[in-house]
Amino acid sequence: MTQSHSVLLIVGGGIAAYKTPELVRQLAKRGIGCRVIVTEAGSHFVAPLALASVTGHEVHTKLLDLTAEARMGHIELSRSADLIVVAPATADLMAKAASGFANDLASTALLATDKPVMMAPAMNVRMWDHPATRRNLATLMADGVTFIGPDEGEMACGEFGPGRMAEPDVIADAIATRLTGSRALAGRHVLITAGPTVEPLDPVRFLSNRSSGKQGYALAAALASLGARVTLVSGPTGLACPPGVERTNVETARQMLAACQAALPADVFVAVAAVADWRPAETHTRKLKLKGAASMPPLKLAENPDILATLSAPGMHRPGLVVGFAAETNDVEAHAQAKLAAKGCDWIVANDVSGDVMGGDSNAILLVTASGTETLPRQAKTVIAGELAARIAAHLTARHPQT
């Protein structure tokens, strides 16, 4: 098969490295060629000779190797590929890449490249959950690195949780989509809400919820990586705006509605935000004081506008595809079906938020559309985002081909 695209695969030092010859084979099946760098630690888990055999190319291991450097320098190695893929991306490699280290061939290639980078993390669950790895993940995402996985499951160390490298065929699919379908949403405008809303009672107190914004931001990033012009209307989250996304920051539901209406027309509207259903009926300009109050002040609430229902209503500017989210703690499918009808949207992405979904890094969803329901099992929010973005792109292409 002729290979129209090539990736530079950087193999880190984790047990999952043994799966990389299979990843190379899966890429070859999709017409994607591979050059490989293996770190010193990685070479203990997979033989460079095995990778050289499946790629048909010399495997690079050392930064200061004059012979290898004379044949293909590390700068050229990292620039000749269409995409750099780090698999397994260990905690150490993520830390080096996030900090800009260049003290071995892998980290130098990552710093020297101007090509997009995709990482498939694999590490012990505690290492994945450690605040240092969280920080590095956030930095890398803000730098435009995309992530595939990790999956949740039983790990080589005997523990259970997120940290397993995504399977080679899943990584190969993500790479192929990135390389070949990356412009599937070019020319489309996607409007997306994310995060919580914050409804002030007085200058220091407010009503809000536990939404972190992670799923909405991951979806905004995934849609932008497919070429869409993405407008993200976000409540307060503390997350960095994904590369290529235009963000409007808001606080209240009413501000969020106004910002969404101002951003129309859009081809797609995705309402991921956890909008507060109610706000304090009155916002006091001065802090309510405990001292001197005759009794506990009554908290009167007013209903907020329903942004999803408003933008779903028939009208000139109704986006062609309107997708709502449903945060449920019980009877997920029944509530999702009811919301689909009540809000007038086209799809509902339902998730069970009774566990640690809000604020966490993984999610399991039920996609409810007029043509049926589909379950996406628990995976990293970035993976769920990629899957949803791919379905949105496929729907638009089928229903409204670009003219």
> Active-site residues: which are they?
157
Our CB check for ligand CTP shows the closer of 5 and 214 to be 214
Least distance (Å) from ligand CTP to the CB of residue 61?
49
Neighbours of 82 (CB within 10 A): 18
Our CB check for ligand CTP shows the closer of 111 and 258 to be 258
DSSP letter string over 273-328? -B--SEEESS--SSPPPSTT-SSPPP--EEEPP-HHHHHHSSSTT--SEEEEEEEE
Q: In what order do the strands lie in the sheet with 189-194?
A: 245-249, 229-234, 189-194, 268-271, 321-328, 347-352, 362-369, 372-380
φ/ψ of residue 45, rounded to 5: -105, -20
* Interatomic CA distance for residues 11 and 48, integer angstroms: 10
Our CB check for ligand CTP shows the closer of 12 and 216 to be 216
* Interatomic CA distance for residues 110 and 140, integer angstroms: 12
Using CA atoms, how far residue 58 sits from 61, 93, 104, 129, 241, in Å, is 10, 22, 18, 36, 39
Least distance (Å) from ligand CTP to the CB of residue 327?
4
Whether residue 133 contacts residue 141, with contact meaning beta carbons closer than 8 Å, is answered with no
Least distance (Å) from ligand CTP to the CB of residue 237?
14
Least distance (Å) from ligand CTP to the CB of residue 370?
17
* Interatomic CA distance for residues 190 and 270, integer angstroms: 8
* Interatomic CA distance for residues 48 and 259, integer angstroms: 53
Our CB check for ligand CTP shows the closer of 53 and 329 to be 329
* Interatomic CA distance for residues 63 and 73, integer angstroms: 9
* Interatomic CA distance for residues 60 and 55, integer angstroms: 12
Our CB check for ligand CTP shows the closer of 117 and 245 to be 245
* Interatomic CA distance for residues 165 and 151, integer angstroms: 6
Residues near ligand CTP (CB under 6 A) are: 193, 253, 271, 273-275, 277, 304, 306-308, 324-327, 339
Our CB check for ligand CTP shows the closer of 106 and 323 to be 323
Whether residue 220 contacts residue 227, with contact meaning beta carbons closer than 8 Å, is answered with no
Least distance (Å) from ligand CTP to the CB of residue 268?
13
Our CB check for ligand CTP shows the closer of 143 and 331 to be 331
| DSSP helix, strand, coil percent of the chain (3-state; round to 5) | 35, 25, 40
Least distance (Å) from ligand CTP to the CB of residue 281?
16
Least distance (Å) from ligand CTP to the CB of residue 368?
12
* Interatomic CA distance for residues 44 and 49, integer angstroms: 12
Whether residue 105 contacts residue 61, with contact meaning beta carbons closer than 8 Å, is answered with yes
Amino acid identity of residue 239, one-letter, is L
